[in-house]
């Protein structure tokens, strides 16, 4: 097996087992199949199986034990900021609960990020936020990808905080939007995120009013969260799951 083939098989093993761990096939505290079983299942070499386990261990999913196999770690140890872990969660979890958890998480940091962006932004930062908002406007007319445009708006705000600790959270925002946009836009009747709400955030950042930016972001995210919590049923759930297939 060539190095490229080995790498491809390693990725396949990591993706399948990662999805099964996050999806509950192997719950915390349980052991995943041993090396020999994994090799047989995936027609893989021992080195590919070992590398896949190392990948999952690095993401906090597994604890490896010499000569004793690998055990699933408690959920609190999982790196939910890792894009792959978020994708596995998106593919396996109950849609409503994932959307609620993601928006609760976003409320915990994006409101303060908006305030910091309003306080610290420079002209280049403001131009990036404006450009992202314009892309959202274009997306509302069918000209651009609504998920990419919405994500760019929120990511540009994180960048404008000039706080390096905020930057890795972009992956969480992007995954949250990829998962939730078809559902939340259908609930509100939008083709893209609420433009009026996003514009209020933009104007607060533009005029350098931190309190107003914080409040505008809190209302925008909070309104969506409450709507999802109270909805009798969530529309477009299949579209949310189909994002992976469409590449959005």
50: tokens are 């070992």
Question: Are 57 and 70 within 8 A, CB to CB?
Answer: yes
CA angle centred on 98, ends 97 and 99, rounded to 5°: 90
Q: Which of 64, 62, 168, 155 is nearest to 114 (CA)?
A: 155
How far is the C-alpha of 19 from the C-alpha of 62, rounded, in Å? 13
125: tokens are 């930062």
Between the alpha carbon of residue 78 and those of residues 86, 129, 190, the distances in Å are 10, 32, 34
**In 10 A of CB 168, how many CB atoms?**
12
CA angle centred on 220, ends 117 and 166, rounded to 5°: 35
The listed range with the strongest mean pLDDT (10-19, 95-104, 222-231) is 10-19
Q: What's the pLDDT at 143?
A: 79
Confidence grade of residue 91 (pLDDT, cut at 50, 70, 90): confident
- Interval 31-49: pLDDT, tens: 999 999 999 999 999 999 9
Is a pLDDT exceeding 80 seen at residue 67?
A: no
**In 10 A of CB 189, how many CB atoms?**
6
Q: Where in the chain is the domain with CATH 1.10.10.10?
A: 3-77
Q: What's the pLDDT at 195?
A: 95
215: tokens are 């409040």
Q: What's the pLDDT at 50?
A: 94
Q: Where in the chain is the domain with CATH 1.20.120.530?
A: 94-246
The SS3 of residue 34 is coil
190: tokens are 């939008």
CATH of range 94-246; options 3.40.50.970, 1.20.120.530, 3.30.70.270, 3.20.10.10? 1.20.120.530
pTM of the model: 0.74
Q: What is the mean pLDDT of the segment spanning 223-246?
A: 62
- Interval 121-139: pLDDT, tens: 999 999 999 999 999 999 9
Question: Are 85 and 173 within 8 A, CB to CB?
Answer: no
Is a pLDDT exceeding 50 seen at residue 245?
A: no
Between 170 and 162, residue with greater pLDDT: 162
How far is the C-alpha of 63 from the C-alpha of 102, rounded, in Å? 26
Q: Is the domain covering 3-77 a CATH 3.30.565.10 domain?
A: no
């Amino acid at each position: 097996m060539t190095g490229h083939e080995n790498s491809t098989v390693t990725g396949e093993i990591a993706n399948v087992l990662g999805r099964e761990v996050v999806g509950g096939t192997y719950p915390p505290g349980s052991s995943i199949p041993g090396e020999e079983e994994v090799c047989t299942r995936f027609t893989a070499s021992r080195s590919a199986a070992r590398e896949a386990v190392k990948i999952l261990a690095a993401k906090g999913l597994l604890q490896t034990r010499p000569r004793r196999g690998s055990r699933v770690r408690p959920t609190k140890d999982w790196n939910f900021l890792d894009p792959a872990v978020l994708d596995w969660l998106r593919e396996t979890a109950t849609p409503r609960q994932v959307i609620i958890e993601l928006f609760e998480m976003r409320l915990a940091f994006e409101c303060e990020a908006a305030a910091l962006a309003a306080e610290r932004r420079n002209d280049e930062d403001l131009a990036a936020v404006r450009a992202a908002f314009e892309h959202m406007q274009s997306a509302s007319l069918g000209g651009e990808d609504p998920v990419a445009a919405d994500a760019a708006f929120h990511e540009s705000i994180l960048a404008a905080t000039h706080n390096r600790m905020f930057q890795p959270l972009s992956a969480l925002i992007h995954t949250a939007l990829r998962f939730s946009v078809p559902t939340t836009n259908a609930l509100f009747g939008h083709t893209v995120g609420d433009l009026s709400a996003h514009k209020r955030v933009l104007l607060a950042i533009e005029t350098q009013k931190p309190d107003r930016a914080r409040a505008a972001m809190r209302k925008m995210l909070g309104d969506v969260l409450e709507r999802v919590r109270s909805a009798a049923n969530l529309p477009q759930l299949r579209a949310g799951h189909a994002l992976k297939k469409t590449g959005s």
